[in-house]
Structures are given as structure tokens and as C-alpha cells.
């Protein structure tokens, strides 16, 4: 069953737990963002800001968040299967950004053996057609420094919501990860090298 949803509202705010921990990511040089959507994370880490169409606090202004630090990204790979969103990513126009317009299931072989300072899998695991723990083990193995992860309750996902708690507990207690921040289904992990 292969389908590409292409569902992402243009009104999504930037995740507060990532923004509040932005200072940790100053030394991040390489990023892979699986299911990059319209480029929320790419805009934040490459351009230092994220704007969306949502009106903040009913004051008539658009939601806008500026990064409190300057990131030193050298390479940002955005994996996104939906063509319309790939175009939005390409509109960012940053030479450090490489857009791979493909499902992760089809693109993952291109990145076998690669390591990235930061791996982002935000609101995407619910839609992947690979066994969830296999995906997570692969991506944790690809992360050098940080793993940004979130689940989102959806009706049309492959992963069932009843599995969310078990997956988060597995990640929160994973020997290779140190939990830095959590809020509801959102997580920021640092790669833990003390045990390896």
C-alpha cells in the first residue's frame, strides 16, 4: 500500500522544545530531515527564522519565530515525497539545501553508512511503510549528535496511536540517547556516547 499524503498545514507553529534548546545546535553542521514537508525545520536552521500563515494571538500578525542563535549548517538534506512540498523546499533557495523528492522507503539506500550531526523525524513515523523500530534503529545509528523526534495523532497513519506510548518509552530509555526535552509527543535527544 503506497500512498503519499501531502498533508501539512501552512499554519504549523515551530516546535517550542526545539526553539528553547536552539543553543545546543550551534555546532551542528549536517542535517537530514525525513519528511521535511514545506520546510519548517529547514527554514529555521538555514535561514534562522520560520514564518507561517497563522495569526498569532489574534493580533493580525503572522506567526514568526527567529532563532536565538546563528546555526553553522554546511549540508541540509530534506527528504520529502510530495512534489508540491518539494517545490516549497526548493524555494528556500539556499545552496546548502539538497531536496530529495522521494519517500524515505525509496531514498534510504542512498544514505546507508552516512552520519549526520542531526537527524529529524518529526510527525512522520506514523506514515512510513517500514517496521517502526527498524526505522528508529537506523536513524539513531545515523545521528552523530542529536535526534529530533515527534509523533502526531492522525486517523490515516499506518502506525496505530496505541503504539505511541511504547515507542516513546523505548526511545526515552534507549542506551544511545539522552532525553534533553519532551513535551507531549515531541522529543529532543542527544546522542549518548558514554555507553558505547
User: Structurally, what CATH architecture does the domain formed by 28-113 represent?
Assistant: 3-Layer(aba) Sandwich (3.40)
Three-class SS state of 56: strand
pLDDT digit string, tens, across residues 6-49 = 455 556 778 999 999 999 999 999 999 999 999 999 999 999 99
Give the model's pLDDT for residue 154. Answer: 83
The confidence band for 3, taking pLDDT boundaries of 50, 70 and 90, is: very low
Cα dihedral: 122, 124, 131, 90 (round 10): -100
Cβ–Cβ under 8 Å, residues 146 and 118:
yes
- Cell numbers 516513546 correspond to 168
- Comparing CA positions, the residue from 137, 136, 127 lying closest to residue 103 is 127
Write down the pLDDT at residue 160. Answer: 87
Of the given ranges (61-70, 117-126, 178-187), which has the lowest mean pLDDT?
61-70
Q: How far apart are CA 191 and CA 144, in angstroms?
A: 6
pLDDT of 54 over the 80 cut: no
Give the pLDDT band (50/70/90) at residue 52: confident
- The pLDDT, as a whole number, for residue 195 is 47
For the ranges 62-66, 98-102, 181-185, the lowest mean pLDDT is seen at: 62-66
The percent helix, strand, coil of the chain (3-state, each to 5) is: 30, 30, 40
Q: Which grid coordinates belong to 132? A: 517502526
Element (DSSP H or E) covering residue 60: none
On whether the CB atoms of residues 151 and 125 are closer than 8 A, the answer is: yes
pLDDT for 7: 55
pLDDT tens digits, 146-161: 999 999 988 788 888 8
Q: Where are the domains of the chain?
A: 28-113, 115-196
Residues 67-126: pLDDT tens digits?
999 999 999 999 999 999 999 999 999 999 999 999 999 999 999 999 999 999 999 999
N- to C-terminal Cα separation, the chain: 38
Q: Which residues of 156-184 are buried (b: 16+ CB within 10 A; e: fewer)?
A: ebebeeeebeebbeebeebebbbebbbee
Amino acid at each position: 500500500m503506497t500512498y503519499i499524503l501531502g498533508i501539512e498545514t501552512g499554519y504549523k507553529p515551530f516546535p517550542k522544545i526545539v526553539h528553547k534548546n536552539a543553543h545546543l545546535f550551534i555546532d551542528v553542521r549536517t542535517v537530514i530531515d525525513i519528511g521535511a514537508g514545506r520546510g519548517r525545520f529547514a527554514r529555521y536552521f538555514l535561514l534562522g527564522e520560520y514564518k507561517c500563515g497563522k495569526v498569532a494571538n489574534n493580533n493580525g500578525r503572522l506567526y514568526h519565530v527567529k532563532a536565538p542563535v546563528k546555526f553553522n549548517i554546511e549540508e541540509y538534506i530534506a527528504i520529502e515525497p510530495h512534489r508540491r512540498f518539494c517545490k516549497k523546499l526548493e524555494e528556500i533557495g539556499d545552496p546548502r539545501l539538497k531536496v530529495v523528492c522521494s519517500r524515505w522507503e525509496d531514498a534510504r539506500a542512498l544514505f546507508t553508512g552516512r552520519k549526520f550531526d542531526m537527524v529529524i523525524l518529526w510527525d512522520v513515523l506514523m506514515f512510513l511503510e517500514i517496521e517502526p523500530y527498524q526505522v528508529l534503529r537506523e536513524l539513531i545509528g545515523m545521528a552523530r549528535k542529536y535526534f529530533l523526534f515527534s509523533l502526531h495523532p492522525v486517523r490515516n497513519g499506518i502506525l496505530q496511536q496505541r503504539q505511541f506510548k511504547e515507542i516513546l518509552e523505548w526511545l526515552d530509555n534507549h542506551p544511545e540517547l539522552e532525553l534533553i526535552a519532551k513535551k507531549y509527543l515531541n522529543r529532543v535527544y542527544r546522542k549518548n556516547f558514554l555507553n558505547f
